[in-house]
Amino acid sequence: MAILVTNDDGIYAEGLSALNRELRKIAETIVFAPSTEKSGVAHGVTLSSPIALEKVVLDGSIAYAVEGTPVDCVKIAVKGMGIPKPELVVSGINAGANVGIDVIYSGTVSAAVEAAIMGIPAVAISLNTRESPDFSFAARFAAELASSLLKDRFLPEHVLLNVNVPSVPEAQIKGVAITKQSRSCYGEKFEREDVSPDKIVFRLSGKLSDLTEPLDYDVAALSHDYISITPIHFDLTHHPSIDSLLRRKFGR
């Protein structure tokens, strides 16, 4: 029984190490993670160049640093290296929440989505801070959840769990909320710098909007110090629109 561990913050990220240490208490782990940070690459795959990987030592064990995206890591581990198919894939622990529209952009979540595409149960886990993060509780919670998944196998095929943990002391966490993905998006803005007559540089920034949704949405639950667990899948079809479109008889 093995767990494949990956992330988008890179092979030497503190969150990955904390997660791997806790998961090793419940099962064998194997780590394939990007050699450098790949935040925000979504479900990107490397097609234009070969993908190199290098053996490194992580917490006293061999791990693999992959010169590619989080999705590349999962693909190479399962289909390239030919390791036995893992029982579970856990991606994280991301420094910063992945809620609302973040789910679309996140390399952390996309690694778990790739596992789900392959029919492997998967979890993406994130901590709601980028400033001096303490991953210890989130790592323990991830291991508890992983243990339950390995034992009971309660996830439907092609469904993964997107987990977000508040960045507050453990005693202040109010509980676990099973949530929907918020529709909250970023209020984005670009800072422009004209570096020469022929060259302009833009830097993107923005803040996630607050839609004042109820606590059964991920953004709201997390902001009220609940651990948010959202079941998601990769079917992007809007099924209610099918009948309406069929009635329009396009091209006839």
- pLDDT category of residue 84 using cuts at 50, 70 and 90: confident
Q: In the prediction, which pLDDT does 82 show?
A: 81
Contact present, 75 and 45 (Cβ < 8 Å): yes
Do 155 and 182 touch, CB atoms closer than 8 A? no
Q: What is the mean pLDDT of residues 84-91?
A: 95
Residue 205 in domain: no
Do residues 115 and 4 make contact, with C-beta atoms less than 8 angstroms apart?
A: yes
- Residue 201 falls inside a structural domain: no
**109 is a domain residue:** yes
Q: Which residues contact 58 (CB under 8 A, 6 or more apart)?
A: 11, 12, 16, 17, 20, 31
Q: Has residue 69 been placed in a domain?
A: yes
Residue 16 has pLDDT above 70, yes or no: yes
pLDDT digits (tens, 9 = 90+) for 98-155: 999 889 999 999 999 999 999 999 999 999 999 999 999 999 999 999 999 999 999 9
**Domain span holding position 125:** 2-183+211-247
Closest C-alpha to 173, from 210, 146, 136, 148: 136
Look at the chain and report how many structural domains it folds into: 1
Is residue 239 over pLDDT 80?
yes
Q: Is residue 149 part of a domain?
A: yes
Residue 70 belongs to a domain:
yes
Does some domain include residue 203?
no
Overall average pLDDT of the 150-179 stretch:
96
Amino acid at 174: K
The pLDDT value given to residue 80: 92
User: Nearest 5°: CA angle at 117, between 20 and 10?
Assistant: 35
For the chain, how far is it from start to end, CA to CA, in angstroms? 54
Across all residues in the chain, what is the average pLDDT? Answer: 93
CATH code: domain of residue 243: 3.40.1210.10
CA 161, CA 229: separation in Å to the nearest integer? 6
In this prediction, residue 252 carries a pLDDT of: 63
Report the alpha-carbon distance of residue 116 to residue 95 in Å, rounded: 22
For residue 206, being part of any structural domain is answered with no
Backbone angle region of 20, left / alpha / beta, with phi > 0 → left and psi within -120 to 50 → alpha? alpha
